[in-house]
Amino acid sequence: MLKGNAVIGQSGGPTSVINSSLAGVIDAAAGFPAIDNIYGMRYGIEGFMKEWLIDLGRQPQHIIKGLRKTPSSALGSSRHKLVDKDFPLILDVLKKYNIRYFFMIGGNDTMDTINRLENYCRDKKYEFIGTGIPKTVDNDLYGTDHTPGFASAARSNILNVMQAGVLARDMQKVDRFVVYQTIGRDAGWLGLATALAAKKESDAPHLIYAPEHVFDRDRFLSDVENCINDYGFVSVVCGEGLKYADGSPVSQSGTKDKFSNIEFGAMGGASVGLNLHGMIANEFGFRGEFQITESLIMSDMARASGLDLEEAYKCGVSAVDITAAGETGYMVSIKRVSDSPYRVEYSKVPLSDVAVKARPVPPEYFNDKGNFASDKFLEYMAPLAGELPEFSELEDIKPGKNK
């Protein structure tokens, strides 16, 4: 068994539960005899190359415990994309600190980082075990039923849309529509999850548009008109990654990040939500609202799912279990055993199966029109979202004689 030190980093966007995974790794590593010390890399792989390390094993226990209910990324994050010249420098730091166990919590780009580094170290004959812990609110990682962080971000979205829907219903004589934009560059999991906000047909949301389906302006406006005629108002949820048939983004953004991903938020130009708002206003002359949460749902501890927090922690523990077995080049995977009662198991998948790939929402999770969730998706999503509040609505009882 390899004897040496371990290091862990966080990468990409934060979540409400990523620090719970960090706590899981720290707690489990403390009981693994082959690990002498566990270090944290400040600001991901970018900070690691600069030797920005802290000793996690010497942190007070109340801080580690507190991480399990602390949002954002306690170690700091990075979106640095590795280039060839980085690898010799990283290897030098690994050797300097005798790091034999390497953990990173992140999404598909992070899994690519670990996979490439693990292959490089093997080629250089440096004994090294690299393990990935899944994280992304987008829920777009292959090889796992869902990702830690998704359930909490989805719950935050659902509650936003529920409350905004009540407001829109009651204010329909002033504002006839509301557009809610959620993150999700390549996959519509977060947007589709808001379907759970609707307890009956007239409840918000009425329409959900995801990147998995080509956006058609005329069909969209027809859907909007039908909903306004049926319900008096319309609630629209859209994913930031919507595209037209020619592949151009509805956001009209041309800015790309370091991984060549199109930036769909306000920093990249116009937004999908604003553009859809403009389409409705220009076509019908209605007044309406737009709501864009951006990264707020990624770090919403007030609405975090208890299930999500627990599963994130167990993913951290499972990562050390994989490492203890001497296996390298894997990401922890959550396997769903049953929906009712909800039960999962923890397994592993090769990093190469996950790296730089985005898992779309399966076609069967959409309705026939592609503008709302199917019953099958609602069954998948219900245990992850948890219990939702019940709001009252006045009955339309007309004045009459007192009894």
Residues recognised as catalytic: 138
What residues form DSSP beta bridges with 209?
238
Q: How far apart are CA 334 and CA 269, in angstroms?
A: 36
Crossing angle between the packed helical segments 306-324 and 150-170, to the nearest 10 degrees? 160
3-state secondary structure of 169: helix
Tokens of 85: 């010249």
User: How far from 331 is each of 75, 232, 334, CA to CA, in Å?
Assistant: 20, 48, 10
Which amino acid is present at 51?
A: E
Burial of 47 (0-12, 13-18, 19+ CB in 10 A): buried
The alpha carbon dihedral of 300, 302, 305, 306 has a sign of positive
DSSP secondary structure string for all residues of 1-17: ---EEEEEEE-SS--SS
3-state secondary structure of 150: helix
User: How far from 74 is each of 134, 149, 367, CA to CA, in Å?
Assistant: 16, 15, 39
User: How far from 162 is each of 178, 209, 234, 341, 346, CA to CA, in Å?
Assistant: 12, 17, 13, 26, 32
Report the number of secondary-structure helices (H) and strands (E) in the chain. 11, 11
What residues form DSSP beta bridges with 256?
262
Tokens of 182: 């959620």
CB 193 within 8 A of CB 157: yes
Crossing angle between the packed helical segments 306-324 and 18-30, to the nearest 10 degrees? 40
For the chain, the C-alpha Rg in angstroms (whole number) is 23
Q: How far apart are CA 26 and CA 16, in angstroms?
A: 18
What number of residues does the chain have? 403
Q: How far apart are CA 326 and CA 157, in angstroms?
A: 40
